[in-house]
A and B are shown apart, each in its own frame.
Chain A
Amino acid sequence: EIVMTQFPATLSVSPGERATLSCRASQSVNTKVAWYQQKPGQAPRLLLYAASSRATGIPARFSGSGSGTEFTLTISSLQSEDFAIYYCQQYSTWPPEFTFGQGTKLEIK
C-alpha cells in the first residue's frame, strides 16, 4: 500500500497570506495525485487532479505542483472560506488501491 503523509497536521495562517501544504508518497505516484477540501459537516470537494490541474470552478488562487513522491498545494491569498481540512490522494495503482493522506487542518491565525 502506498502511504500518503501530509504535513503539517495543522497550519495557522492569516487571511490574505499564502498557505503551503505538503504531501509525500511512500513511493512514486508520478503525478497521480488529487487534492480535496472538506468543511465541517460537508462532503469533500475536488480541488486539483493530476497534481496541478484545477477542477472546474476552482479559483486560480489554488495551485498544485509536484511529481514522484513530493507534492504541494498552495493557496496564494487565503480567503475566509478557505479555512478547512485538506486531503491529498494518490490514484497511481492498478488495480485501484487508492489512499488518502491524513489531512491538514488549515486554521485562522
Chain B
Amino acid sequence: QVELVESGGGGVHPGGSLRLSCAASGFNFGNWAMHWVRQAPGKGLEWVAFISHDESHKSYSDSVKGRFTVSRDNSKSILFLQMNSLTGEDTAVYYCARDYGDYGTLYYWGQGTLVTVSS
C-alpha cells in the first residue's frame, strides 16, 4: 500500500537550515505530483510547496518563497524540502502528500515530521 515517511525534522536555531525528506513506497513515485503541507502547534493546515512529477513545475506559498526549495529524486522515490533562513514561524509539523492526479487534491499523507525553530 502507499506509504509516505517524512524525516529530517528537529530543533534548529533561527536563521538556520534543515532538509526534510519524504520516502515514498507502494506506488510509482515518478508518475505523481507531490506537496508539502505544514501545521503549526495547535493551528490549522498551511500548504507550503508543490512539485510536478517531472520537476517541470514548482510552486510555493508566499510565506516560504525564496527560502524553501522543493525537489525530488524519482530514481530513489524521495521528496525533499530544503528550508533556509528559518524563523519561529516555521515551527510546525511538516507533512508530505501525494497528489490525487488533479494537481491539487492531497490524497495520501505521511505522518509528519516536527520542525522546531528556537534559540
- Are B44 and A102 in touch, CB under 8 angstroms? yes
- Are A43 and B47 in touch, CB under 8 angstroms? no
Q: Determine which of B35, B57, B112 lies in contact with A43 in the assembled complex, contact meaning CB atoms within 8 Å.
A: B112
Closest to B96 in A: A43
**Using a CB-CB cutoff of 8 Å, which residues 58-79 of chain B contact chain A?**
59, 61-62
B103: Cβ under 8 A from any A Cβ:
yes
- Are A43 and B109 in touch, CB under 8 angstroms? yes
- Are A34 and B109 in touch, CB under 8 angstroms? no
Contact with B along A46-69 (1 / 0, CB 8 A): 100110000100000000000000
- Are B105 and A34 in touch, CB under 8 angstroms? yes
CA A45 – CA B107 in complex, angstroms? 8
Q: Which residues of A contact B102 (CB under 8 A)?
A: 32, 49-50, 91
**Using a CB-CB cutoff of 8 Å, which residues 69-108 of chain B contact chain A?**
95, 100, 102-107
**Using a CB-CB cutoff of 8 Å, which residues 81-109 of chain A contact chain B?**
87, 89, 91-92, 94-103
- Are A44 and B105 in touch, CB under 8 angstroms? no
Q: Which residues of A contact B9 (CB under 8 A)?
A: none
B111: Cβ under 8 A from any A Cβ:
yes
CA A95 – CA B35 in complex, angstroms? 13
CA A91 – CA B103 in complex, angstroms? 8
- Are A100 and B105 in touch, CB under 8 angstroms? no
In the complex, 22 of the A-B residue pairs with CB atoms within 8 angstroms, ordered by the A residue number, are A32-B104, A34-B104, A36-B45, A36-B106, A38-B45, A43-B95, A43-B109, A43-B110, A44-B37, A44-B45, A44-B109, A45-B109, A46-B106, A46-B109, A49-B100, A94-B103, A96-B57, A96-B59, A97-B59, A98-B104, A101-B44, A102-B44
Question: Other than the known A49-B100, A95-B59, what 18 A-B pairs have Cβ atoms closer than 8 Å?
Answer: A32-B102, A34-B105, A43-B109, A43-B111, A49-B102, A49-B105, A55-B107, A91-B102, A91-B103, A91-B105, A95-B57, A96-B47, A96-B59, A97-B59, A98-B35, A100-B45, A100-B46, A103-B45
Binding site for A on B (CB under 8 A): 35, 37, 44-47, 50, 57, 59, 61-62, 95, 100, 102-107, 109-112
